[in-house]
Amino acid sequence: MVFNDRRDITWELIEHLENEEVFDADKQLLLKILSKERYGTELQKERFKIIYKLIPEGYEYKNVSQCAKHLGKSASGVKCSAISVRHKLTRGLEEDLLIIKEINKHSAKNEG
């Protein structure tokens, strides 16, 4: 798979996550992908999950600054962690990117 395609797939996923268009079942698939060691440290992945609301209940932040304040960290540190995971997803296993592509298809149907 060409890098530009990988990047587009990952960016589309981020857009769907930000717009809260991802179904719960698809969030579970994404969490399974993120559980792999290759996608970042546990801290990076935890921050990614919090920012994009992949963790159920209890983490409702309107922005990265609120999230960082709750965690006692800087907003830039939290954001850099999420960006690192996003980059690693872009360079991830092709089988994982194909699953993310399917998540994007489901989420596109959920827009609006």
Q: What is the pLDDT of residues 45-99, one digit of tens each?
A: 988 998 888 886 666 777 788 888 888 889 999 899 999 999 999 999 999 999 9
Q: Where are the domains of the chain?
A: 3-109
Are 104 and 16 a contacting pair, CB within 8 Å? yes
Query: Residue 102 corresponds to which tokens in the numbers above?
Result: 């399917």
For residue 39, give every residue at least 6 positions away whose Cβ sits within 8 Å of its Cβ, in sequence order, or none.
33, 45, 85, 88, 89, 92
On whether the pTM is more than 0.85, the answer is yes
